[in-house]
Amino acid sequence: MKFIGTRGTDSKKTFSEVILNPAAPNGGLYVPEKLPTINENFLIRLYDDRDERTYSSVARAILSLFKIDIEKDLIEKALYTYLKNFDADEVVPVVRIDGNLAVSELWHGPTRAFKDMALQPFGVILSALAQKRGENYLIMAATSGDTGPATLKTFENKENIKVVCIYPHNGTSEVQKLQMVTTNAKNEKVLGILGDFDDAQTALKVLLKDEEFRDTLNKSGIKLSAANSVNFGRIIFQIIYHFWSYLKLLEFNEIKLGEKIDVVIPSGNFGNALGAYYAKKMGLPIEKIIIASNRNNVLYELIKYGRYDLRDKKLIKTISPAMDILKSSNVERMLFDKFGEKRTTELMKSLEENGFFELNGDEIKEIQKDFEADFATDAESEEMIRKYAKKNYIIDPHTATALKAYEYLKEKGKIKNYTVVYSTAEWTKFAPSIYYALTGEDIDREIAEVEENTISDKDAIVYIETNYGVKAPDMIRELFNKEIVNENIIDKSKIKEETLNFLKK
């Protein structure tokens, strides 16, 4: 399989080239020249093999369709991370809630968020390629809270790899921050910036395109790559769990082979949703991909009205901080698939230069063939947390936005199929917000400006464990006793300087 750029390409690239060097020409993103497709027989084979089926075997089957230029033994080593580093036998448990609803839990990896699903195997492949080529790489990662810990975990102490992780100071949960600032791997640097995630992501994109920065790295024998979902090495692994969910519903006799389902995905940077879109394009029977947003609802406005307008928007801090994003990178890949290179370049140029683009009526209809959208306020998310706790199911605030979308759109008659909601993080990562939702304390606070939590993450976790019969995993408990060794708070203008200083050590 070959890869091309969304805004034009100088030459077609292989998967190994794209994973190592994710910056496409003209500021675009790499996408497959042509997606592989499946037929019903493909799903029948996977379903009939249910006695031997594992998450890794499904992943292996999907990856084989892409014909990537990665040796089989390396793919096996990458897939072994699912067996080694996840605490659920199935890797991704699919939990039936009630009626026509199931929740796919993507957070059973080492950092308790869905980013592990892609970054665990991704890290194995990228570092092995670097070692095989005798090359040294700087991996840059910008995070709204989950990509950072997952990147640091997958690359810790890997040879030929250095990592710089950028996160918004005061823009993550306490647990997310502790997962980053307590890392003591010598090949990793964590930088908190005075800004939000969009500032961090923009800074990363600028550095990826900065020729002077690249030249400085090259003189030191270092190449530049990225762990964000701008890297297709992330996206390819995010396609797999949509197939897995469908197969589990078949196994549960909730659906029949070929029957369409709907999926609801909490969305910030659109990578998870893009994985579902690609799975549908490949032939997985998905009818609608429902995008759930918080009050930073740019994706809702895009899908409902065809507008992407940042001109008068400011990022709103919410109880679902991993979705506090206004510039969703992976939208570009969807636009390219729908409308091609010329129109995508035009739209993205307008967004970058004017902070705005607008689709025409036919384009809006084309997007709405595959997507529906909704968003939740913090109060609505808290209501979902309380409601599902009464059903003995504790959810995090991001999953709550998806369940709110499910319930609202089902009531409106816009969801008619069996539905899978994707749970993107374990409750332990946002325990104070769940505590306030469950106790009713602080319930009248201004939704537009979430106040600083007055209960610690540790105390909130203890409360939830004591009263709701759940248990935090050891990797979360241990965070509160770890030494903070990597806390650097800087202005975003200093990222380049701090990165270069780190590389000199």
User: Which candidate, 174, 138, 93, places its Cα nearest to that of 479?
Assistant: 174
Residue 348 · residue 230 · CB < 8 Å: no
Per DSSP bridges, beta strands 101-105 and 418-423 are parallel
Secondary element (H or E) of residue 280: helix 271-282
Torsion of the alpha carbons at 230, 236, 237 and 241, rounded to the nearest 10: 120
Per DSSP bridges, beta strands 30-32 and 3-5 are antiparallel
Residue 115 annotated among the catalytic residues of the structure: yes
Q: How many CB atoms lie within 10 A of CB 52?
A: 7
Which residues 6+ apart lie within 8 Å of 438 measured at CB? Answer: 385, 386, 389, 464, 467, 468
Burial state string for 367-387 with b = 16 or more CB within 10 A and e = fewer than 16: beebbbbbbbbbebbbbbbbb
User: Which candidate, 31, 26, 32, 33, places its Cα nearest to that of 7?
Assistant: 26
> Nearest-5° angle of CA 89, CA 92, CA 98?
110
- Among 12, 34, 77, 115, which one carries the catalytic annotation? 115
Q: Which two tokens stand for residue 372?
A: 């529906």
Q: How far is CA 388 from the centre of its chain?
A: 23
Per DSSP bridges, beta strands 136-142 and 161-168 are parallel
> Nearest-5° angle of CA 486, CA 487, CA 493?
115
Measured between alpha carbons, how far is 300 from 82 in angstroms, rounded to an integer? Answer: 33
Per DSSP bridges, beta strands 489-490 and 286-293 are unpaired
Q: Which two tokens stand for residue 66?
A: 């892409």
Residue type, position 412, single letter: K
Measured between alpha carbons, how far is 205 from 222 in angstroms, rounded to an integer? Answer: 18
Q: How far is CA 505 from the centre of its chain?
A: 31
Which residues 6+ apart lie within 8 Å of 139 measured at CB? Answer: 126, 151, 155, 161, 162, 163, 164, 225, 226, 227
Measured between alpha carbons, how far is 421 from 292 in angstroms, rounded to an integer? Answer: 10
Measured between alpha carbons, how far is 233 from 424 in angstroms, rounded to an integer? Answer: 19
What distance, in Å, lies between the first and last C-alpha atoms of the chain? 39
CA–CA distances in Å: residue 264 to residues 104, 128, 211, 331, 372: 10, 34, 40, 17, 9
Any idea which residues carry the catalytic annotation? 115
